[in-house]
């Protein structure tokens, strides 16, 4: 059996692929749930909807993309096909698609319009293709895997570069006794073949895993280094458990899968970062009575997710007209303003970071200095995760010693953004890591000057 130091060192060197690193860089992108459900008010279609109900006469994808960009998002993932089986593109393999809708006389293609708009605006494009299909006559038979693979190939080859392919494991209620075994290894091989830079999202990886809820809640400590038992299709980079495998621990997604108490039981660790997917409204598809999140709520969500070593996939459901609801547009644009004011270059205060004490075993104390005292509002810490994720806990402090910290947290990973309230030119950062600490950067943001001007104007 391994000794603890060897185990920790191996865990600290589990590395992301280039595509996973690029996905971490993006951090924040839009989800779009759009289908026949937009017209029926259902959240899960039955599969027998008439394609004639899909008629987004005012659809303008450049307008969608303008809002998405204004909110600081770097890409978009759209439901090319949801569980109802209706295709937003004119797939050759089914009649259940836009080609039988009155929209643009059956000549429309939402994916074409959106992928072109994304390219024009310089943001990334990705697709959600539901494995569960309540329309396809093949569903529940081995032929369904051919059907899905054919549709996937259309998406992978006809719409330019994809940054993400999003799948879930919803297998449904088994209507008519149908239950489908999805051939994910075959689907994933196709994605790798045609879109080698695209990350694959599935509940448990291989590239990006689900955070485990749809409420917008990330774990306090989100690890990208997790048991291979949980992310079955991800590549294992280590071999052998520290304490013989315990399936309850390693395969239980309700736990904190990357915590040390969990991974010591894993037979092999892999790298799979977590995505938080949630909606700007209480539902995935448009419901006129729903109210969107407020700009402050989205900012808080952003801090906990993008600023908590996960990515945020925030759903904006279009209305039957094809437009976003003006209330959602207003909330997103106002949020974008808050984001630029609070975490943009105008609020950043240059600082120097110096290791002032090395305590060994991945423990160290850093001094962070700004040129002059500043009213600090946020501190961002980033690990160089290209070499692995290592930080187990940290504290941001006014003094090097003592029990009191301005902020204390668990993981850091690609990005940790902390709310801090202190007027000072010196902060201390204590870190406890699994192996040698490799910091990519520390950034300091002062209370936004825009807010200050408003305040001065008021008083
Ligand atoms: C789930 C689906 O069942 C929901 O309808 C939604 O699309 C969500 C993002 O994924 O698995």
The residue to mutate among 31, 85, 170, having the most atoms of ligand 1 within 8 angstroms of its beta carbon, is 170
* Cβ proximity of 23 and 413 under 8 Å: no
Q: Nearest C-alpha to atom 3 of ligand 1 is from which residue? A: 170
Overall residue count recorded for the chain in this entry: 459
- pLDDT given for residue 204 in this prediction: 82
- pLDDT given for residue 456 in this prediction: 44
Look at domain 346-446 and name its CATH class: mainly beta
For the residues 52-56, what does the mean pLDDT come to? Answer: 98
Q: Is the pLDDT of residue 453 over 50?
A: no
- pLDDT given for residue 256 in this prediction: 87
For the residues 100-107, what does the mean pLDDT come to? Answer: 98
What predicted TM-score, i.e. pTM, was given to this entire model?
0.96
For the residues 69-92, what does the mean pLDDT come to? Answer: 98
- pLDDT given for residue 233 in this prediction: 92
Q: Nearest C-alpha to atom 9 of ligand 1 is from which residue? A: 277
Q: Nearest C-alpha to atom 6 of ligand 1 is from which residue? A: 284
**CB-defined site of ligand 1, < 6 Å:** 168, 170, 277, 284
Distance 285 CA to ligand 1 centre (A): 10
- pLDDT given for residue 38 in this prediction: 98
Q: Nearest C-alpha to atom 11 of ligand 1 is from which residue? A: 168
Please report, rounded to a whole number, the percentage of residues in the chain having pLDDT higher than 70. Answer: 96
Average pLDDT, the chain: 94
The residue to mutate among 38, 284, 285, having the most atoms of ligand 1 within 8 angstroms of its beta carbon, is 284
Q: What is the pLDDT of residues 386-432, one digit of tens each?
A: 999 999 999 999 999 888 899 999 999 999 999 999 999 999 999 99
Q: Is the pLDDT of residue 121 over 70?
A: yes
- pLDDT given for residue 175 in this prediction: 63
Distance 252 CA to ligand 1 centre (A): 21
Distance 80 CA to ligand 1 centre (A): 13
Distance 94 CA to ligand 1 centre (A): 22
Range with the poorest average pLDDT among 206-220, 268-282, 340-354:
206-220
Q: Is the pLDDT of residue 228 over 90?
A: yes
17 vs 455 pLDDT, higher one: 17
Indicate the pLDDT class of residue 291, thresholds 50, 70 and 90.
very high
Q: Nearest C-alpha to atom 10 of ligand 1 is from which residue? A: 168
Topology classification of domain 4-343: TIM Barrel (3.20.20)
Indicate the pLDDT class of residue 6, thresholds 50, 70 and 90.
very high
Distance 44 CA to ligand 1 centre (A): 9
Report domain extents, the chain: 4-343, 346-446
The residue to mutate among 88, 130, 132, 168, having the most atoms of ligand 1 within 8 angstroms of its beta carbon, is 168
For the residues 363-389, what does the mean pLDDT come to? Answer: 98
């Amino acid at each position: 059996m391994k000794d603890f130091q060897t185990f920790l060192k191996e865990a600290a060197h589990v590395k992301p692929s280039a595509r996973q690193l690029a996905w971490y860089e993006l951090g924040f992108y839009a989800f779009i749930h759009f289908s026949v459900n937009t017209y029926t008010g259902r959240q899960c279609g039955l599969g027998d909807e008439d394609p004639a109900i899909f008629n987004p006469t005012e659809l303008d994808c450049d307008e969608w993309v303008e809002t998405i960009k204004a909110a600081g998002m770097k890409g978009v993932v759209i439901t090319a096909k949801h569980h109802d089986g209706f295709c937003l593109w004119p797939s050759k393999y089914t009649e259940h698609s836009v080609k039988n809708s009155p929209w643009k006389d059956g000549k429309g293609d939402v994916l074409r319009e959106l992928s072109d708009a994304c390219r024009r605006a310089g943001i990334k494009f990705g697709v959600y293709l539901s494995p569960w299909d309540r329309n396809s006559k093949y569903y529940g038979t081995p032929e369904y895997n051919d059907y899905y693979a054919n549709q996937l190939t259309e998406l992978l080859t006809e719409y330019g570069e994809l940054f993400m392919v999003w799948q879930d494991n919803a297998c449904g209620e088994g209507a008519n006794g149908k239950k489908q075994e999805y051939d994910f290894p075959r689907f994933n091989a196709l994605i790798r073949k045609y879109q080698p830079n695209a990350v694959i999202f599935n509940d448990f990886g291989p590239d990006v895993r689900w955070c485990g809820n749809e409420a917008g809640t990330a774990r306090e400590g989100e690890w990208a280094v997790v048991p291979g038992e949980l992310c079955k299709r991800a590549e294992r980079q280590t071999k052998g458990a520290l304490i013989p495998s315990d399936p309850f621990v390693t395969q239980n997604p309700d736990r904190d899968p990357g915590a040390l108490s969990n991974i010591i039981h894993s037979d092999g660790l892999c790298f799979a970062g977590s995505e938080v997917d949630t909606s700007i409204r209480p539902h995935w598809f448009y419901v006129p009575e729903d109210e969107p999140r407020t700009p402050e709520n989205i900012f808080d969500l952003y801090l906990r997710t993008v600023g908590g070593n996960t990515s945020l996939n925030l759903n904006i459901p279009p209305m039957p007209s094809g437009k976003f609801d003006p209330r959602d547009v207003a909330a997103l644009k106002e949020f974008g303003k808050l984001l630029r004011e609070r975490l943009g270059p105008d609020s950043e205060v240059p600082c120097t970071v110096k290791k002032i004490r090395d305590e060994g075993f991945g423990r160290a104390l850093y001094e962070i200095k700004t040129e002059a005292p500043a009213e600090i509002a946020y501190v961002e810490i980033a690990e160089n995760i290209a070499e692995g994720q290592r930080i187990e806990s940290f504290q941001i402090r006014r003094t090097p010693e003592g029990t009191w910290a301005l902020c204390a947290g668990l993981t850091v990973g690609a990005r940790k953004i902390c709310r801090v309230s202190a007027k000072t030119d010196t902060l201390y950062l204590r870190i406890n890591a699994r192996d040698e600490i490799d910091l990519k950067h520390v950034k300091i943001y002062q209370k936004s000057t825009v807010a200050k001007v408003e305040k001065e104007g008021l008083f």
